[in-house]
Amino acid sequence: MSWEPELDELRRREELARRMGGEERVARQHASGRLTVRERIERLFDPGSFHETGALAGRGSYDESGELVDFLPANTVVGRGRIAGRRAVVQGDDFTIRGGAADAAIWEKAVYAERMAHDLRLALVRLVDGTGGGGSVKTLEHAGFSYVPPLPGFDLVVRNLSVVPVVAAALGPVAGLGAARVVCSHFSVIVRGTAQLFVAGPPVVAAAMGEAPDKETLGGARMQARAGAVDNVAEDEDDALDQLRRFLSYLPSNVWEAPPAVDAPDPPERRDEDLLSIVPRDRRQPYKMRRIVDAVF
């Protein structure tokens, strides 16, 4: 007796999960100038190295005989792969399902990614494209009740900062707990023009303060980079992913390892005579610290 029918059913369900929010919402994501979460993960990791965990977590629809007829996956994709040959964990939001809202994500998946990075001592990449919290109208419709958003697993979010490298990219309108996941990192980047970051979006601000700023004015890249909420600005999503990869290349996988070593083209006996005169003898006189950095490194 063969298990092929069961394996075929698993493959069918995995294919349903890869549809994400459906063709219309995927097209809408592309029309906004943004990649889907699976396209981002494909570009982040070395080819063929990504292994997904929990692809079949979500909500199924069944017919009268109990057969699965449709499947809506959770809007968080997690797994691990290799970046420049080194293993790393990813946690990516799927905006095509409920706008990446946290109360549609099955919170255990996001926590699992944090736990995986912590326990396996691997760098964690967060690709953030959604909101946070919960208690939405959608939850009220489906569950029949609302709630105050909990913070499950946030102890791991904090603990990981002292154990493994954590990097994050704001890749769309990011609010609430999504914003918290961006800034609770060692390095964060936001995409100019298509990503914004704020505690609460324009409708909440309008209701509370009587003002009606648009998303870009409220939390666009220019605003958040000047405020220091994010470290860098990227010109597009490929640039953002490149910056995450470059930052990770400087660091070890965890605090128990040494950082990677590369052959330096700078001769160790090199001497820069400018270093003798950059710092003035008069302590009240200013000087350009970046000249020293450029001369040394």
pLDDT digits (tens, 9 = 90+) for 52-69: 999 888 888 888 888 888
pLDDT of residue 163: 97
DSSP 20: T
Neighbours of 75 (CB within 10 A): 27
Is residue 75 within 8 Å of 104, Cβ to Cβ?
Answer: yes
First to last CA, the chain: 66
Looking up tokens 């100038």 gives: 33
Q: Shortest CA distance to 92 belongs to which of 158, 144, 34? A: 34
Residue 20 to residue 10: CA distance in whole angstroms: 16
Residue 160 to residue 73: CA distance in whole angstroms: 27
Residue 295 to residue 297: CA distance in whole angstroms: 6
Positive or negative, the Cα torsion across 54, 55, 59, 63? negative
pLDDT of residue 272: 92
Neighbours of 154 (CB within 10 A): 15
Domain ranges within the chain, ordered by starting residue:
4-249
CA-derived radius of gyration, the chain: 23
**pLDDT of 134 strictly over 60:** no
Residue 139 to residue 104: CA distance in whole angstroms: 8
pLDDT of residue 294: 93
**Single pTM value for the model:** 0.84
Neighbours of 106 (CB within 10 A): 18
Residue 254 to residue 29: CA distance in whole angstroms: 35
CATH 3.50.50.60 for domain 4-249, yes or no, is no
**pLDDT of 106 strictly over 90:** no
**pLDDT of 137 strictly over 70:** no
pLDDT of residue 284: 95
Two structure tokens written together for 8:
């075929």
Give residue 144's region: left, alpha or beta (phi > 0; psi -120 to 50): left
pLDDT tier for residue 145 given thresholds of 50, 70 and 90: low
Buried b (16+ CB within 10 A) or exposed e, 29-57: beeeebbbbbebbeebbeeeebebebbeb
Two structure tokens written together for 158:
């904090």
Q: How many CA atoms lie within 13 A of 28 on its CB side?
A: 13
**pLDDT of 46 strictly over 60:** yes
Residue 126 to residue 110: CA distance in whole angstroms: 10
Buried b (16+ CB within 10 A) or exposed e, 116-146: bbbeeebbbbbbbbbbbbbebeebeeeeeee
Two structure tokens written together for 141:
């419709």
Q: How many CA atoms lie within 13 A of 32 on its CB side?
A: 22
Read off the pLDDT of each residue in 28-33 and give the average, rounded to a whole number: 93
pLDDT digits (tens, 9 = 90+) for 75-105: 899 999 999 999 999 999 999 887 767 665 6
pLDDT tier for residue 146 given thresholds of 50, 70 and 90: low
DSSP run (H or E) holding 228: none
pLDDT digits (tens, 9 = 90+) for 258-281: 998 888 888 888 999 999 999 999
Residue 43 CA to its chain's centroid (Å): 13
